[in-house]
């Protein structure tokens, strides 16, 4: 029998216990041995819950109990998650976590300790909730050269953008709805500013390259600047706007960024709407593959945690997941990344449009009948540096650029 201790009986932690209890027989059969919940560490009491008699408040109890084989960290945040997880690994216990902040910030060190102690540090649930993506990347695609990972990795922002696109809602109205439905936090900054997506794409990039990725070096732009007017243009152009976390290997250079991108219906991620997540993986031999599903929520996220628990139990005497090393991945500057650019420009005089087209070269012009005081353009593909230079030149010539969104159309 393997004993599990769960740290944090919140949404995900209680979901993990629920699945472990409900599917205990099936898990024992698949795993070859029983997996039992021995402790649940939380500051609170849960007298009416199935773990009422397993609640402990002192971390020392579980870390010093040699019969605890696997520790589940579902507390979130970095403190006390980081010191607790570190001590559990040092004590020779396997650790499974759903905490992307922890993995993005301390993954390199925690993976190293796990290797030294011949235990496993597993974090399938930290990206894409219930969608299997970490294990496919290092197991199923082990022989691949991954050329691109592009994901809609945040359910809250995807819900907001979907409602703006479907109903013509403003950002604020869509955010309010997301908060009412419990998708968005009262302080939605981590989601809407792209920080959550940034940590997730950092983890996926590190897993796929085997190198450490400093999430602070990833260019990150959220969705707070996207407006209902942008979506009116998108509708006219038959496109949509999604928040992408992307890492790409191009001409021997590694790029990683988070930004809203305008995409056409032919893009594999176009149909990923509402709170769902979707991740496109492009391999040199494989071509494009798509992973789609529930990227958040109690039971979907708990499902991925339980799969990691089973994996840790099956490999209880050895470290099977290399993760990534301390070798750092050098990321190229966003200035070198190439995109098309959708831009909205104030004014609608023919002279202004002509001078903008002259500066930008091959450019499409889009006009909305109801927005008579402005128009939009879609440029050809060019490096960000070149676009910024052209944009600065236009601004110096008195052209007022109201909005810029990268486009993959
Ligand atoms: N806030 C995250 C989201 C939760 O909206 O996707 C899952 O990581």
Instruction: Give the orientation angle of helix 195-209 with respect to helix 100-117, to 10 degrees.
Output: 30
Instruction: Determine if ligand 1 sits within 6 Å of the CB of residue 154.
Output: yes
Instruction: Determine if ligand 1 sits within 6 Å of the CB of residue 194.
Output: no
Give 276 Cα–ligand 1 centroid separation in angstroms.
10
Instruction: Determine if ligand 1 sits within 6 Å of the CB of residue 158.
Output: no
Report the alpha-carbon distance of residue 149 to residue 205 in Å, rounded: 8
Give the DSSP H or E segment for 192. helix 189-192
SS3 301: helix
Report the alpha-carbon distance of residue 176 to residue 7 in Å, rounded: 31
Instruction: Determine if ligand 1 sits within 6 Å of the CB of residue 212.
Output: no
Q: Contact 111/121 with Cβ under 8 angstroms?
A: yes
Report the alpha-carbon distance of residue 98 to residue 299 in Å, rounded: 12
pLDDT in tens, 368-399: 988 779 999 999 999 999 999 999 999 999 99
Query: Which residue owns the Cα nearest ligand 1 atom 7?
Result: 296
DSSP E strand stretches across 22-129: 35-41, 55-56, 68-73, 94-97, 121-122
Which of the following is catalytic: 200, 242, 282, 391?
200
Q: What percent of the chain has pLDDT over 90?
A: 95
Report the alpha-carbon distance of residue 120 to residue 2 in Å, rounded: 14
SS3 136: helix
**Residue 175 half-sphere exposure toward CB, CA atoms < 13 A:** 17
> Which pLDDT does position 322 carry in this prediction?
82
> Which pLDDT does position 27 carry in this prediction?
96
Q: Contact 241/234 with Cβ under 8 angstroms?
A: yes
pLDDT in tens, 110-160: 999 999 999 999 999 999 999 999 999 999 999 999 999 999 999 999 999
* Known active-site residue 318: no
Residue to mutate (ligand 1; options 175, 196, 275, 302; most atoms within 8 A of CB): 196
Give 190 Cα–ligand 1 centroid separation in angstroms.
9
Give 221 Cα–ligand 1 centroid separation in angstroms.
16
Give the torsion sign (CA, 340, 344, 345, 351).
Answer: positive
Query: Which residue owns the Cα nearest ligand 1 atom 8?
Result: 296
Total Cβ atoms within 10 A of residue 338:
15
Full DSSP string of 355-388? HHHHHHSSEEEE--TT-TTEEEEEEPPEEHHHHH
Query: Which residue owns the Cα nearest ligand 1 atom 2?
Result: 154
pLDDT in tens, 239-250: 999 999 999 998
Instruction: Determine if ligand 1 sits within 6 Å of the CB of residue 294.
Output: no
- Nearest atom in ligand 1 to the alpha carbon of residue 157 is 5
> Which pLDDT does position 321 carry in this prediction?
86
Give 354 Cα–ligand 1 centroid separation in angstroms.
44
Beta-strand pair 338-346/401-407:
antiparallel
Residues 6+ apart with CB under 8 A from 89: 95, 110, 113, 114, 117, 119, 121
Instruction: Determine if ligand 1 sits within 6 Å of the CB of residue 74.
Output: no
Report the alpha-carbon distance of residue 84 to residue 63 in Å, rounded: 8
pLDDT in tens, 102-111: 999 999 999 9
> Which pLDDT does position 297 carry in this prediction?
94
Instruction: Determine if ligand 1 sits within 6 Å of the CB of residue 124.
Output: no
Helices then strands, counting H and E runs in the chain, come out as 14, 17
Show the low-confidence residues of the chain (pLDDT under 50). Answer: none
Opening angle at CA 334, ends 331 and 338, nearest 5: 115
Instruction: Determine if ligand 1 sits within 6 Å of the CB of residue 99.
Output: no
> Which pLDDT does position 31 carry in this prediction?
85
Give 401 Cα–ligand 1 centroid separation in angstroms.
32
Instruction: Determine if ligand 1 sits within 6 Å of the CB of residue 150.
Output: no
Q: Contact 337/383 with Cβ under 8 angstroms?
A: yes
Report the alpha-carbon distance of residue 140 to residue 289 in Å, rounded: 12
Report the alpha-carbon distance of residue 93 to residue 122 in Å, rounded: 12
Opening angle at CA 300, ends 299 and 301, nearest 5: 90
Give 155 Cα–ligand 1 centroid separation in angstroms.
5
Instruction: Determine if ligand 1 sits within 6 Å of the CB of residue 295.
Output: yes
Token reading at 195? 């920080």
Report the alpha-carbon distance of residue 293 to residue 223 in Å, rounded: 22
> Which pLDDT does position 273 carry in this prediction?
98
**Terminal-to-terminal C-alpha distance of the chain:** 54
Give 212 Cα–ligand 1 centroid separation in angstroms.
23
SS3 152: strand
The alpha carbon torsion through 77, 79, 83, 89 (nearest 10 deg) reads: -20
- Nearest atom in ligand 1 to the alpha carbon of residue 159 is 5
Residue to mutate (ligand 1; options 154, 189, 242, 293; most atoms within 8 A of CB): 154
Instruction: Determine if ligand 1 sits within 6 Å of the CB of residue 191.
Output: yes
């Amino acid at each position: 029998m393997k004993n599990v201790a769960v740290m944090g009986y919140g949404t995900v932690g209680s979901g993990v216990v629920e699945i472990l209890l409900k599917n205990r027989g099936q898990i024992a059969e698949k795993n070859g041995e029983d997996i039992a919940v021995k402790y649940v560490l939380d500051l609170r009491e849960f007298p009416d819950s199935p773990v009422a008699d397993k609640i402990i408040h002192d971390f020392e109890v579980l870390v010093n109990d040699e019969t605890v084989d696997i520790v589940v960290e579902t507390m979130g945040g970095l403190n006390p998650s980081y010191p607790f997880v570190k001590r559990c690994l040092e004590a020779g216990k396997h650790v499974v976590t759903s905490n992307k902040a922890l993995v993005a910030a301390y993954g390199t060190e925690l993976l190293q300790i796990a290797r030294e102690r011949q235990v496993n540090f597993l974090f399938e649930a930290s990206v894409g909730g219930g969608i299997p993506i970490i294990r496919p990347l290092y197991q199923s695609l082990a022989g691949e050269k991954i050329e691109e990972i592009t994901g809609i990795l945040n359910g809250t922002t995807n819900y907001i953008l979907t409602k703006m696109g479907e109903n013509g809602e403003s950002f604020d109205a869509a955010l309010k709805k997301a908060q009412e439905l419990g998708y968005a936090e009262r302080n939605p900054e981590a989601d809407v500013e792209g920080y959550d997506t940034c940590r997730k794409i950092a983890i996926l990039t590190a897993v796929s390259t085997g190198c450490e990725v400093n999430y602070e070096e990833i260019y990150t732009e959220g969705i707070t600047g996207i407006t209902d007017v942008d979506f009116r243009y998108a509708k006219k152009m038959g496109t949509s706007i999604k928040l992408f976390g992307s890492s790409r290997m191009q001409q021997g250079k590694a790029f990683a960024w988070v930004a809203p991108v305008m995409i056409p219906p032919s893009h594999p991620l176009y149909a990923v709407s509402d709170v769902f997540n979707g991740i496109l993986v492009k391999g040199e031999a494989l071509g494009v593959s798509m992973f789609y599903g529930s990227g958040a929520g109690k039971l979907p996220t708990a499902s991925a945690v339980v799969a990691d628990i089973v994996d840790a139990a099956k490999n209880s005497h050895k470290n099977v997941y290399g993760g990534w090393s301390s070798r750092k991945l050098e990321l190229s500057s966003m200035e070198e990344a190439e995109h098309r650019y959708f831009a909205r420009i104030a004014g609608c005089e023919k002279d202004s449009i002509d001078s903008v087209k002259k500066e930008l070269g091959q450019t499409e012009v889009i006009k909305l009948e109801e927005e008579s005081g402005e128009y939009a353009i879609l440029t050809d593909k060019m490096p960000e540096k070149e676009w910024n230079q052209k944009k600065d030149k236009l601004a110096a010539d008195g052209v007022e650029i109201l909005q810029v969104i990268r486009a993959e159309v």
